[in-house]
Structure 1
Amino acid sequence: MGWTSTDEGGRLRHVAGAVRLEPVDEQNLEPLLSVAAAEAEPGDVMPPVEAPAGWSLARREAFRDFHRASFGGLDGPTRSQMYAILVGGEVVGMVRMTRCDEPGTVEAGMWLGRSARGQGIGVTALRELLNAAARAGMRAVVADTTADNVAAVGVLKKCGAKLREDAGKVRAEICLDSTPPAL
């Protein structure tokens, strides 16, 4: 089943296959690493680590360790649930939610490989994450980005986020009691 979205020029694009989320596990960890290494910068997809620049062997192992640490989900040691984003069965990125200190609130984060950007995949993936957060009993999802990250700000707006900007930083809050706007 496919869906359409518009590109920057307003032309309709067809994305082959449905966008779905799958908890990150040993089965999809290597495909996720492959996409990250081929289509993203390390600093965009994982915390900084002491390792040679680029996608060195040490950085690849740190990527695996970072994701494995969250296999326990929202109640595990990292308090994070990570999902591989799949389109047509292929891993194209990752979206996560992490428990905040405020009860009923999780922080969201996401990245997509370069070839998956600009196709509406981020909006669909975030909406799926919002559904998962609601099923987990959350009342709100927050996210932090920068004003110059136009793609992230756009995704957040399309998912019904209330945005606050201060000194180039953007704080988004999505109340799960309200319904996000339709595509």
Structure 2
Amino acid sequence: MDVRIDPLDERGLADLLDAAVAGADPAEVLPAAAGATWDDGLRARFLAFHRGRALAPDPVERTWVVRADGDAVGALRLEPGPDGDEVGIWLVRDARGRGLGAAAVRQLLGPGQLAGPVGAAGTPLVARTTTANRAALGLLRALGAVTAPGTDGAVTARFPSDDHG
């Protein structure tokens, strides 16, 4: 399977919305109430969320569309934080558990992806999840991240410093 990450643009955002509506719950892909279902309002919020965070003139994060055989299957993001640049990923249900997340993150860590205002070379790379998210923990460990438990089931993962930049 061909997995690639493409920097988010308006075309990619439309593909990402279609993928999210078809294969993910709203709360998995944007701040939304648990149990929310896709409607016109949530679709508009999804678009506004990404336009305001990743497509703005001064973005607060960088986002890539994760594609499998050309189809959008999720998103990968990188956002500066107090203890390093935080990586996050979501995939549609049908793409989970197939190695696509690991392939996407490996591409993010590859040459040339992290150049720019977000993702500066030498900045620590972290990820956050919960003890209940076994799939995310497995992905992070497979990529060489070291996990540390926090409070209330939170887990912070740190990637080896030579992988970022």
- TM-score under structure 1 normalisation? 0.78
The 5-angstrom pairing of residues 1-183 of structure 1 reads 16=1, 18-48=2-32, 53-69=36-52, 70-72=54-56, 76-77=58-59, 79-102=60-83, 105-131=84-110, 132-133=113-114, 136-166=120-150, 167-178=152-163
Moved more, 83-92 or 161-170: 161-170
Amino acid at match of 1:39: G
**In 1, are the aligned partners of 2:109 and 2:163 still within 8 Å (CA)?**
no
Question: Structure 1 segments of 4 or more deviating over 2 A?
Answer: 130-136
**Cα distance change, pair 169–27 in 1 and its aligned pair in 2 (3 A):** same
Unaligned ranges ≥5, structure 2: none
**Cα distance change, pair 30–121 in 1 and its aligned pair in 2 (3 A):** same
Amino acid at match of 1:147: T
CA displacement, residues 138-163 of structure 1 (integer Å, 9 cap, x when unaligned): 43211110111111001100111010
Q: CA RMSD in A?
A: 2.1
The residue number in structure 2 matching 1:13 is none
Amino acid at match of 1:42: P
Unaligned ranges ≥5, structure 1: 1-15
Amino acid at match of 2:17: L
- TM-score under structure 2 normalisation? 0.85
Deviation of 1:178 after TM superposition, in Å, equals: 5.0
CA displacement, residues 91-144 of structure 1 (integer Å, 9 cap, x when unaligned): 110000001235xx2101110001111110011111112232377424321111
**In 2, are the aligned partners of 1:72 and 1:81 still within 8 Å (CA)?**
no
